[in-house]
Amino acid sequence: MKENSLKYWLAWNKIPDIGPKRFYKLLEYFGSVDAAWQAKLGEISKVLNLSPKISSRISEEKNNIIPEQELDLIYKYKVNVLTIEDALYPENLKTIHYPPPVLYFKGTIVESDKNSISIVGTRKATYYGKMVAEKLSKDLALAGLTIVSGMARGIDTAAHKGTLSVNGRTIAVLGCGIDHIYPPENRRLAQEIQESGAVISEFPLSTLPERQNFPRRNRIISGLSLGTVVVEAAEKSGALITADFALEQGREVFAIPGNINSPLSNGSHNLIKQGAKLVNNYQDILEEIHIELPQKTAEKEMIKENTSLTEEEKTIYQIITKEPTQIDEIIEVSKLSAGKVSEILLNLELKDLIKEIEGKRFIKL
């Protein structure tokens, strides 16, 4: 898109009172964003059927925006932009009701991202929830799917990390401007995502991560995907908003069963009661979305690596299960020295076969 036109897309997107619905009304009536920007306020108000209060507010917001400066900002922060008219605009997102007119992103958006699954859940995830999100994202990424999530703490972070661990593609959708990384501890994760996928947002630069932005963020997460998997969610979790959007958009909804005694399972279990597909493994998802993809060579490499264990490593690996095992118990059962067990545990962890959790306990991945 020509810079002269792009600056007006960015300028209109900067005005809070001009959401996607009003944006498309202007585009349809005036024929271009350029012509709409040059139009008189009275005509704009008439086209959008604005109240005097909102009309005045839009006028004030518009007068405070210099389109050329919006263009300068994306160059300053090295941000890429797609509009709904661009060929690379995500295919799945384009089909939702009033798709975002403008997307800001860092990284790459590719055609194969149409084969995407979103994995979402609570920020206050249990160890079980994070383990499931990580395992599921790995398996789906190895099957050739792009994993979409919101880069929030808990389940989202686990889903992104699981995908990256097998060199898969992942997309993080932000509820703020792309020049703000939220939560701040995920700055490094955001950089890694950009290198093997994309970090995207519909919000203009400098937008802060405010509460009201996250439902809009969730709408994009589900809109980019063929289906949404809720891993762990309380009854009023934001992840359920993403599931609602997925249903509205005609996409599949999946849920992971959890501990019946945990309040963080209530939201997921309610979804299953309402007809969401119960997921035991990644194949349940592939069957439902009706696509078959070849396994990546990364999986074959992992299998090859995992079978090349020493006898002592195999002994330790067989002792550890999916349930947390104390290091003292591993030492006692293996009959090996504490130093040797610690060395082997580290090797197994580096091979991505086990993981250490709190209290010097280990679980099999």
pLDDT in tens, 79-132: 999 999 999 999 999 999 999 999 999 999 999 999 999 999 999 999 999 999
Q: Among 27, 58, 76, where does a domain finish?
A: 76
Lowest-pLDDT choice from 136-150, 263-277, 300-314, 325-339: 300-314
300 pLDDT higher than 50: no
Dihedral through CA 65, CA 71, CA 75, CA 81, nearest 10? 110
pLDDT of residue 3: 63
- Domain co-membership, 292 together with 314: no
Lowest-pLDDT choice from 60-74, 179-193, 222-236, 285-299: 285-299
Cβ atoms within 10 Å of 105's Cβ, excluding its own: 23
- Domain co-membership, 220 together with 326: no
Torsion sign (Cα): 67, 70, 71, 72? positive
- What share of residues in the chain are helix, strand, coil (percent, to 5)? 50, 15, 35
Contact 189, 160 (CB under 8 A): yes
Task: Give the position of tokens 């610690």.
Answer: 342
Contact 191, 163 (CB under 8 A): no
- 340 domain residue, yes or no: yes
Cβ atoms within 10 Å of 163's Cβ, excluding its own: 30
pLDDT of residue 117: 97
Task: Give the position of tokens 């040059």.
Answer: 38
Torsion sign (Cα): 150, 152, 155, 158? positive
Task: Give the position of tokens 């959708």.
Answer: 173
Query: What span, in angstroms and rounded, lies between the C-alpha atoms of 229 and 255?
Result: 5
Dihedral through CA 243, CA 247, CA 249, CA 252, nearest 10? 80
- Domain co-membership, 69 together with 163: no
Query: What span, in angstroms and rounded, lies between the C-alpha atoms of 44 and 39?
Result: 7
pLDDT of residue 236: 83
Per residue in 153-170, pLDDT tens? 999 999 999 999 999 999
Per residue in 326-345, pLDDT tens? 999 999 999 999 999 999 99
Residue 278, token pair as written in the block: 């119960």
Contacts of 53 (CB under 8 A, 6+ apart): none
- 170 domain residue, yes or no: yes
Percent of the chain residues past pLDDT 90, beyond the cut: 78
- 304 domain residue, yes or no: no
Q: Among 249, 274, 296, where does a domain finish?
A: 296
- Domain co-membership, 237 together with 325: no
Residue 228, token pair as written in the block: 């949404």
pLDDT of residue 292: 62
Amino acid at 4: N
Query: What span, in angstroms and rounded, lies between the C-alpha atoms of 365 and 346?
Result: 14
- Domain co-membership, 38 together with 113: no
The pLDDT mean for the chain works out to 91
- Domain co-membership, 155 together with 187: yes
Looking at the structure of the chain, the number of domains it has is 3
- Domain co-membership, 245 together with 172: yes
**SS3 for 31?**
coil
291 pLDDT higher than 90: no
Radius of gyration of the chain (CA): 24
Angle at 321 between CA 317 and CA 324, to 5 degrees: 115
Residue 168, token pair as written in the block: 């898969």
303 pLDDT higher than 60: no
298 pLDDT higher than 70: no
Q: Are strands 80-83 and 102-107 parallel, antiparallel or unpaired?
A: antiparallel
Residue 76, token pair as written in the block: 């300053």
- Domain co-membership, 189 together with 274: yes
- 91 domain residue, yes or no: no
- 301 domain residue, yes or no: no
- Domain co-membership, 316 together with 286: no
- Domain co-membership, 125 together with 224: yes
pLDDT of residue 307: 54
- 96 domain residue, yes or no: no
Enclosing domain of residue 158: 107-296
Band of residue 309 on the pLDDT scale cut at 50, 70, 90: confident
**SS3 for 92?**
helix
- Domain co-membership, 207 together with 263: yes
Residue 338 belongs to a domain with what CATH number?
Answer: 1.10.10.10
Contact 73, 97 (CB under 8 A): no
Residue 175 belongs to a domain with what CATH number?
Answer: 3.40.50.450
Of 159, 123, 112, 109, the C-alpha closest to 282 is 159
- Domain co-membership, 200 together with 237: yes
Query: What span, in angstroms and rounded, lies between the C-alpha atoms of 198 and 79?
Result: 11
Contact 230, 130 (CB under 8 A): no
235-253 average pLDDT score: 92
**H helices, E strands: number in the chain:** 18, 12
- 132 domain residue, yes or no: yes
